[in-house]
A and B are shown apart, each in its own frame.
Chain A
Amino acid sequence: MKQFEFDTQEEFIAKLKEIVDAGVKSEFITTLTPFHVHEVDHIFKTRPSELRYFTLLGAAAGFILSFMFMVFTVMDWPIITGGKPLISIPAFIIVAFECTILFGGIVSLLGFLHLNRLPDIRRIIDPRECGNKFLIIHDMGGGK
């Protein structure tokens, strides 16, 4: 278990590169940074976040379900208003659209929490503080 601290992003990146080049797998390395350092992703060659699947799912579900629901309601008790057709698609699209975004947004949030295992009670109680420093925590379990 080794821990490196850096004051500037550049040194941090340099060190990280060095460690990874030394052949340490990224899953044995944890970095803590005060903001998102995109270079880290490039170094680790991580795949883009799986979050997008959640988002897509939520959005699609939102659209389809809400539309089906609206159709159900007008079929459940068909009431003519203003001579408009019972299933008046132009009108329904709007609510469907809103629901798409609503569900999309909520599901993405849930997805995010799930992927990051948040909220994390342990960390809430005593978080690992890095102040404004850039940390590299190298779990010696793997690599040399």
Chain B
Amino acid sequence: MEKRKNVTGEEGMKTQAFYGQVELDVIRAMKRPGVFYWIALGASILAFGGGMTLWGYQVLKGMGVAGITHPVGWGVYITNFVFWVGIAHSGTLISAVLFLFRARFRSAFNRIAEAMTVIAVMTAGLFPLIHLGRVWRFYYLLPYPNQRMLWVNFRSPLIWDVFAVSTYLTVSVIFFYVGMVPDFAAARRHFTGIRRRIYSILSLGWEGTTDQWRHYSRLYMFLAAFATPLVVSVHSVVSWDFAMSIVPGWHSTIFAPYFVAGAIFSGTAMVITLTIPMRKVLKLEKYITVDHYEKIAGVLLVTALIVSFSYIVEILMAAYSGNIFEKTVFYYRMTGDYKYFFWLMMFCNVVMPLTLFNRKLRRNIKYLFVFSLFVNIGMWLERFIIIVTSLGREYIPYSWGTYTPSLIEIGITVGSFGMFFTFFLIFSKVLPMLSISEIKEQGVGNETI
């Protein structure tokens, strides 16, 4: 068994002091919100409410209030959907995939990442509804016996979406919750009154007996084993929303892996964006260390390279095939109405990540924070460009068109961020932010696969 460093830093066996310390640190993060917290929460709720109001307006007036037109029938809403689903992905990746790869550094991030997943999926799930022309008929999308005697069209990628996203939400929630059961058991000790009661209920009366742990680790392993292909499948399905069509610039076999990589790329970036300020505010630096960030940055780099590869292949293939429609689209992307977006995206997703080859930068927290912000922007733009430019330059030149988001759309987008942060802030004070039992088991500090 390899050496472990404990909190107090000196080598040796784990001690009661260590266990207690871990618990105290994590629990402390759950108590006494500061002023900052309240301000942030207030702002988020405000944005969230605003977004919802605008949505209401859109429902009353009709989709026309959004900027989408013929031929660009999808715009910012679907962009946001893909964006948020993407964000959701790193969560499962970090906790499930890295769990299977026995990558210890996950335990620093997994709880936060999982929370992010659950919240992001909820946010994402909203957008397909927002973009429906008749959202009050959304239940037509569910296969249930109805008076219309009609089932749903299982050949439609949108139905695949319904299943993929709801499955993803369910499994992520289970995974999230199961991971927390022992920690609830720990948490209940540290609270009194109503909160104590809630935690004890949530802990289901967990004690940590031999059998419990035995089944528990098995369950966790299975869930991880399920979640991993799920991540891939879900974002593949999302990518197929586009690839299944025959729209030039959408209909491309590389989309599935390309989107999955992109999703993990953006999601991991989001994890960095969130954890860096958080570990400061909640004083968890000793649990989320620079080594962890270096590893995460590694993940970023790899995914970025895959994404870049896809960009290049796409463009080259368009030129290679000599297919006039494909060529039109990609030429338009690079030189057309959205060229600045395109080149900004190229900078964020292709050029900037190359800096991560430098170990110093990988270990530079500040840099990573800025970097991650750029990546988020870049990935949002990527989806926007793929959707809009492809639709804008389809087969019939007569009905080419452009698209400008309306204020409503922008407002709702802001609202979605509001929603995300509202839930996330609440989570950060209500649930244990780190997997206590896991840290107890493994200790903290550098360890390798």
How many chain B residues have a CB neighbour from A under 8 Å? 62
Q: Is residue A130 contacting chain B, with contact meaning CB distance below 8 A?
A: yes
* A35 and B437 contacting across the interface, CB-CB below 8 Å: yes
Q: Is B10 an interface residue (CB 8 A)?
A: no
Which residues from chain B contact A121 at a C-beta distance below 8 Å? 205
Q: Are B154 and A91 in contact (CB under 8 A)?
A: yes
Given the contacts A36-B217, A73-B151, A115-B211, A8 and B205 also touching, CB distance less than 8 Å: no
Distance in Å: Cβ of A90 to nearest Cβ of chain B: 9
CB distance from A86 to the nearest CB of B (A): 9
Residues of A in contact, count (CB < 8 Å): 68
**Interface membership of chain A positions 98-126, coded 1 if the CB is closer than 8 angstroms to chain B and 0 otherwise:** 11011011101101110110111111110
B447 interface contact, C-beta 8 A: no
A120-B174 in contact (CB<8A): no
Q: Does A41 contact B (CB under 8 A)?
A: yes
Hey, what's the 0/1 contact readout for B214-256 against A, CB within 8 Å counting as 1?
1111110011001001100100010010000000000000000
Known pairs A92-B154, A102-B171; A51 contacts B205 (CB<8 A): no
Among B412-449, those with CB < 8 Å from A are 437-438, 440-441
Does A2 sit at the interface, judged by CB under 8 A?
A: no
- Interface segment among B98-106, B157-165, B311-319: the answer is B157-165
- CB-CB under 8 A from A34, the residues of chain B are 19, 186, 208, 437, 440
Docked-complex contact A73 and B204, CB < 8 angstroms = no
Q: Assuming the A-B contacts A9-B14, A106-B174, are A131 and B189 also in contact, with contact meaning beta carbons closer than 8 angstroms in the complex?
A: yes
Q: Does B209 contact A (CB under 8 A)?
A: yes
A28-56 interface code vs B (CB 8 A; 1 in, 0 out): 01111111110011001010110110010
Contact yes or no, B215 A116, CB < 8 A: yes
Partner of A105, one of B151, B171, B215, B440: B171
Contact between A108 and B19, CB atoms less than 8 A apart: no
The residue from A7, A29, A95, A106 contacting B163, defined by CB atoms under 8 A apart: A95
Contacting A101 at CB < 8 Å: which of B152, B200, B203, B226?
B226
**Structural contact, B204 and A120, CB atoms closer than 8 A:** yes
What's the Cα separation between A88 and B151 when bound, in Å? 15
Which of the listed residues B153, B170, B185, B210 has the most CB atoms from chain A within 10 Å of its own CB? Answer: B210
Q: Which residues of B contact A (CB under 8 A)?
A: 13-16, 19-20, 23, 143, 149-155, 159-160, 163-164, 166-167, 170-171, 174-175, 178, 182, 185-186, 188-189, 200-201, 203-219, 222-223, 226, 229-230, 233, 237, 240, 437-438, 440-441
User: Ordered nearest first, which 8 A-B pairs have the shortest CB separation?
Assistant: A123-B205, A120-B205, A132-B19, A73-B151, A119-B204, A49-B218, A35-B441, A36-B213
- Could you write out 8 A-B pairs with CB less than 8 Å apart? A8-B13, A26-B210, A41-B210, A91-B154, A101-B226, A101-B229, A118-B205, A127-B188
